[in-house]
Amino acid sequence: MDETWISFLNGILKMPGAKINRVAFLRKTFRGLPEDKMIICIKESPVKIVAPSVLDSKAASIISSHTVKATAISTASGIPGGFAMLATIPADLANYYYHIVAVGQKLGYLYGFPDMVDKNGDLTEDGEIMLTAFIGVMNKVEAAKKLIKQLAVELTKRISEETVARVVGNLMSKQIVAHGAEAIAKKLGAQISTKTVSRSITKVIPFVSGMICGGITYATFKPQARRLHQALKDNLASE
């Protein structure tokens, strides 16, 4: 996929806490479930045993929590020398996408998508594709919604009727998936390059730049996350 985008995505995922452990997340999110239902939740999907209204509530809570955190830290990171995470990426942009990536994983797991990281905590190739599709939806990349539907179809095929384990596969081996992922990654890479330049310019005026970054984050983060939430709901409804 597009080198600019993949390099950026993996850079964000190097930050502590950026990778979400699916099992730990589901256990924490649905900690009130009896163990037999928790097993179904983890081995199959939360949508099998959790009411849509509860999923909506959990998703809204996740989005609100990350919006608050992203906005607060973005304001601070706009001040030169504050919250510098990655040398090659403006601090506030790194912070913004840190939360975008976290929300993408959490909402995906909430609506039945499989692990995006392996046992060693590394992002898988399939994880790259899923996150690219999710973040593409957040950024209004038109082809991303279609790709999410295609991913759901391919991933469903991997669930064996004889075992609770998900079968390992390679989504990029599917031509239609690979083509869609490449196109989305290219657009996201171009967006990141533009945002990196524009965010760097705002740092010229100390303190004021912090308020600008915080304002941009507050105005854009929640709508972006809600777009992904809606796309996952629509995909579930169509299934």
Q: What is the pTM of this model?
A: 0.82
pLDDT at site 165: 46
The widest CA-to-CA distance across the chain, in whole angstroms, is 61
pLDDT tens readout for residues 159-180: 544 344 444 456 755 666 777 8
> Across-strand partners of 97?
none
The rounded distance, in Å, linking the Cα atoms of 237 and 107 is 15
pLDDT tens readout for residues 23-68: 999 999 999 999 999 999 999 899 999 999 999 999 999 999 999 8
Place of tokens 């209204």: 53
Angle at CA 192, nearest 5°, toward 188 and 196?
175
Kindly list the domain boundaries of the chain, sorted by start residue: 3-234
